[in-house]
Structure 1
Amino acid sequence: MTATAQTAAGWSRPVALTVAAAFFLEQIDGTILATALPAIARDLGVRPGDAGLAMTAYLITVAACIPVSGWLSERFGGRRVFLVAVAGFVAASVLCGLSSSLAMLVAGRVVQGVAGAMMVPVGRFIVLAGTAKADLVRAVAYLTWPALAAPVIAPFLGGVITQYAGWPWIFFVNVPLGAVLLAVAWRVIPAADSAADSAVPAGIDVRTLLLVMAGTVGLVVGLELVADTRRLPVAAALLAVAALGLGWAVRRARRVPTPLLDLRSFARPTFRAANTGGVAYRVAVNSVPFLLPLLLQDGFGWSPVEAGLMVMWVFVGNLAIKPVTTPLLRALGFRALIAASSAGLAATMVVCALVTPQTPVAVMAAVFLLSGVFRSVGYTGYNTMQFADVPAGQMNGASTLSSTVVQLANGLGIALAAVTVRAVDAVAHPAAPSGLLGYRVALVALAVVAVLSTVALLRLPPGAADHVRHPRRERAAEPAGPRTTRSSRA
């Protein structure tokens, strides 16, 4: 199926799959270095803690640059920005793989972060802008799996590559994959029509951009440092800067005529619920791939490969439920299914906190698989519901705003998990097994966060976003649009 085989409303499976593949490359790159840091530090002659700067630099850059992606796509066209982002990601991967010093590696990671920040919201906008509300559930299902799969398989994949090929190949494998992705994207992603090309946006709001960058950098770095009790004053100062910067940016966004952050989508109850309660859900979801490998290694004494293989059952659950996620959403509705998923996720996290080294492997694998099932269904539900009532003219701004919120939620989930583990370990009884109690308390605490995420959701009316649950009814009510043809591509 080619890009010409779109529905009248513009839905294209090849475009969605291409963008999802780009998402996977970007998201897996954010965490794959975790198991390779000791080897990187050894080769570059630095301490492992210092080598962690390569991961932090990437996360900071992505968080800081996402807000400008919406303006770039309006100014230069989504297809063009997406292709340049993929090419930049591949080039930065080569630079990272060839690094002979920590400074060179960090520079390459910064370039990767810039490219990644462009790929995610711009790619999602490309898919959603050409998708009718009737096809929204199906489109978002394609875009959701990278965010669920990448954090789960990245540590294991990074460990295998580092052990058998060397850490530079973590980056070099992006070159052939990125080249194929670029060629496919060039072919299947349609260019914007001439009417859209003529709508050139106003100049970028530099002041708001600087405020957002200061706020996001302060928040991400501050959360990273909170886990280190020796740097709490610095962390507190950075978090204060983040609060001031983001608060001022929101105030400007409400007043200037062409804001960098389009906050109009927050007037939609479904978007607001998905980006308030949904943040708490994502915090819990993103803590699981961080906590479980450490629980199995530090608490149970498993090897990295053994822990990685067990956590892969979460990924199996993610994939196994995918074929029925859309039918479940259409049958049960967003409120009921997301609430059930949040409760199920919380229950599996509590069970994970109760497992012991003597727990049968089959039982443990079943619990991890169920965790993946609940993560997948709830994540897809929130990601679909947030765009259900957003009109086409606001989709670019909504995608950018949502991507910024998600990126910050990702960092918050890992930071809260790390802070909880360290705090518990600091006050635990000396007889308690090293690390085990901290991981158990963190899992239970974040299970509570998963339950609390439903508060905003349950305030929605029972029929919220029902119009995207019934594709035939919605499609019949929408006017047919022109098909995208091969000649419309650049």
Structure 2
Amino acid sequence: MTQAPGGWSRPVALTVAAAFFLEQTDATILATALPAIAHDFGMRPGDVGVALTAYLVTVAALIPVSGWLSDRYGGRRVFLTAVAGFVGASVLCGLSSSLAMLVTGRVIQGVAGAMMVPVGRYIVLSGTAKTDLVRAVAYLTWPALAAPVVAPFVGGVVTQYAGWPWIFFVNVPLGAVLLAVAWRVIPATTPTGRSGLDVPTLLLVVTGVVGLVVGLDLVTDPRRTWAATGLLTVAAAGLGWAVRRARRAPTPMLDLRAFARPTFRASGTGGVAYRTAVASVPFLLPLLLQDGFGWTPVEAGLMVMWVFVGNFAIKPVTTPLLRALGFRPLIAASSAGLAATMVACALITPGTPAWVTAGIFLLSGVFRSVGFTGYNTLQFADVPAEQMNGASTLSSTVTQLANGLGVALAAVCVRAVDATAGYRFALLVMAAVAVLSMAALLRLPPGAAEHVRRPVPTPTARQKVS
């Protein structure tokens, strides 16, 4: 296997990044196909939305199990099994002739996705020296930036010209190639033989996540106020009890030790708010352009692609910016910039020149990319190697919850205000969330993670002799 400088494998990082892209694209691509699916099933589009919710809830609830599986059976075996399961579930979804069959396939996809994300990240980071952490994280960041932006446009095109089942069938050849490459480049790992899955904690986490997602979905329905209140109460109790068990258990399913480190804690609090705001953008912008301004799906998808352009245009300089400015200034500027562009999005109208709208979307993508890279690097800066598996699992769980919360909170805001004003209101609320994300970051000391930003160079052979 070709090793990149510093002992980490670039082919492995690219393979895991490809798996992330496949999984995260599939998580969001279904949204534009819901009307077509509902038509084929003889249902309303809102009734088919459970196919989206089933996937997100399954991924968020089962991510904590991935760390236990990786320790017990080895990261390579779990990752390959997850990819194969994801492809098989995609076939089931594409062949679905009823909503129940589709939801079943989405749940299986969610189980596989919950294994791919944290296990793949752990495989990459466990073999990465601290001096190479910035570069390694950069490889793993781009799928999270690109997939939610590209998916709505691709989903609209595929649904219109090939039919909605091909949203899932296209995963088969892509997954087969990914599986073949992963089989070749992913290194073998030795299982630790960890046993004793903490089933009570798992049930508490599942209960908490399901209650949180479903409760938020019901909170704006006056007829279901009591149900929403009850579910959110159960969610808070379940997640709180799970945290309490994790602190006391000798081998917890959720390893919370990483939160004792200020850099991880800042990313796990302020970073959650930042990711919540970011996750709402791919959900709100297509709806604003289509439902609010009357654009076609293709027109809206092409305009939203400017966010994607901004993500990648700034990517080559994110690492130099991080090394030059440091974590606190760069992430704070990204949060402020993200909030400003969301306010600007709330102010655009159907008469706004296209180049102005494209420029705003482009800047939004730039700030998203820089902030993601900063937070994703900061959170692992001080985590020791022996805690990296647990930290990766914990990070993936928190990130997935933030993604779900971003969409759920945005949807609540949209439903709270009618018509186009609902999208504007939601954008303003999420801009405020982006600003609030800076509170935890500013509590970090100015020199936090300095050893990652400016690693000490390894002495050359001549320097050692002298």
TM-score, normalised with respect to structure 1 = 0.92
**Distance in 2 between residues matched to 1:108 and 1:287, nearest whole Å:** 25
Q: Helix, strand or coil: the match of 2:445? A: coil
**Distance in 2 between residues matched to 1:350 and 1:43, nearest whole Å:** 38
Aligned pair 1:387/2:371, yes or no? no
Aligned pair 1:303/2:303, yes or no? no
Cα contact 1:132–1:475 (8 A) shared by 2? no
**Distance in 1 between residues matched to 2:309 and 2:431, nearest whole Å:** 21
Aligned to 2:448: 464
The match for 1:455 among 429, 436, 439 is 439
Aligned to 1:362: 355
Aligned to 2:417: 424
Aligned pair 1:115/2:112, yes or no? yes
**Distance in 1 between residues matched to 2:108 and 2:152, nearest whole Å:** 22
Aligned to 1:45: 42
The match for 1:436 among 420, 431, 436 is 420
**Distance in 1 between residues matched to 2:34 and 2:339, nearest whole Å:** 31
Cα contact 2:2–2:11 (8 A) shared by 1? no
Aligned to 2:2: 4
Deviations 1:440-481 (CA, angstroms, capped at 9, x unpaired): 12111111111110010010011111111124x16569xxxx
Aligned to 1:482: none
Q: Helix, strand or coil: the match of 2:195? A: coil
User: Per-residue deviation at 1:417?
Assistant: 1.1
Q: Which amino acid aligns with 2:300?
A: A
Aligned to 1:265: 258
1:20-99 correspondence runs (5 A) = 20-99=17-96
Q: Which amino acid aligns with 1:5?
A: Q
User: Per-residue deviation at 1:227?
Assistant: 4.0
Cα contact 1:317–1:370 (8 A) shared by 2? yes
**Distance in 1 between residues matched to 2:139 and 2:280, nearest whole Å:** 22
**Distance in 2 between residues matched to 1:221 and 1:347, nearest whole Å:** 30
User: Per-residue deviation at 1:43?
Assistant: 1.3
**Distance in 2 between residues matched to 1:320 and 1:214, nearest whole Å:** 41
**Distance in 2 between residues matched to 1:107 and 1:405, nearest whole Å:** 25
Q: Which amino acid aligns with 1:92?
A: A
Aligned to 1:248: 241
Higher mean C-alpha displacement, 229-238 vs 258-267: 229-238
**Distance in 1 between residues matched to 2:221 and 2:178, nearest whole Å:** 40
Aligned to 2:328: 335
**Distance in 2 between residues matched to 1:466 and 1:178, nearest whole Å:** 39
1:151-300 correspondence runs (5 A) = 151-192=148-189, 196-197=190-191, 199-300=192-293
Aligned to 2:394: 401
TM-score, normalised with respect to structure 2 = 0.97
User: Per-residue deviation at 1:397?
Assistant: 0.4
Cα contact 2:272–2:399 (8 A) shared by 1? yes
Deviations 1:220-274 (CA, angstroms, capped at 9, x unpaired): 2222222434322222211111111110011011111111100000000000000
Cα contact 1:227–1:418 (8 A) shared by 2? no
Cα contact 2:217–2:412 (8 A) shared by 1? no
Q: Which amino acid aligns with 2:113?
A: G
Cα contact 2:35–2:45 (8 A) shared by 1? yes
**Distance in 1 between residues matched to 2:180 and 2:112, nearest whole Å:** 17
Higher mean C-alpha displacement, 214-223 vs 158-167: 214-223
User: Per-residue deviation at 1:53?
Assistant: 1.2
Cα contact 1:223–1:411 (8 A) shared by 2? no
Cα contact 1:227–1:415 (8 A) shared by 2? no
**Distance in 1 between residues matched to 2:317 and 2:340, nearest whole Å:** 21
**Distance in 2 between residues matched to 1:4 and 1:379, nearest whole Å:** 27
Aligned pair 1:372/2:365, yes or no? yes
Q: Helix, strand or coil: the match of 2:248? A: coil
User: Per-residue deviation at 1:202?
Assistant: 2.9
**Distance in 1 between residues matched to 2:274 and 2:55, nearest whole Å:** 23
Aligned to 2:464: none
**Distance in 2 between residues matched to 1:28 and 1:419, nearest whole Å:** 23
**Distance in 2 between residues matched to 1:6 and 1:363, nearest whole Å:** 41
Q: Where do 5+ consecutive residues of structure 1 fail to align?
A: 426-434, 478-490
Q: Helix, strand or coil: the match of 1:106? A: helix
**Distance in 2 between residues matched to 1:313 and 1:125, nearest whole Å:** 31
**Distance in 2 between residues matched to 1:239 and 1:160, nearest whole Å:** 37
**Distance in 1 between residues matched to 2:332 and 2:454, nearest whole Å:** 20
Higher mean C-alpha displacement, 215-224 vs 225-234: 225-234
Cα contact 1:16–1:139 (8 A) shared by 2? yes
Deviations 1:399-428 (CA, angstroms, capped at 9, x unpaired): 111111111111111111111122122xxx
Q: Which has the higher contact order (CA 8 A, sep 6+)?
A: 1
Q: Which amino acid aligns with 1:214?
A: T
Aligned to 1:483: none
**Distance in 2 between residues matched to 1:160 and 1:90, nearest whole Å:** 21
**Distance in 1 between residues matched to 2:47 and 2:146, nearest whole Å:** 27
Cα contact 1:86–1:119 (8 A) shared by 2? yes
- Structure 1 segments (4+ residues) deviating >4 Å: 474-477
**Distance in 2 between residues matched to 1:475 and 1:228, nearest whole Å:** 60
Aligned to 1:144: 141
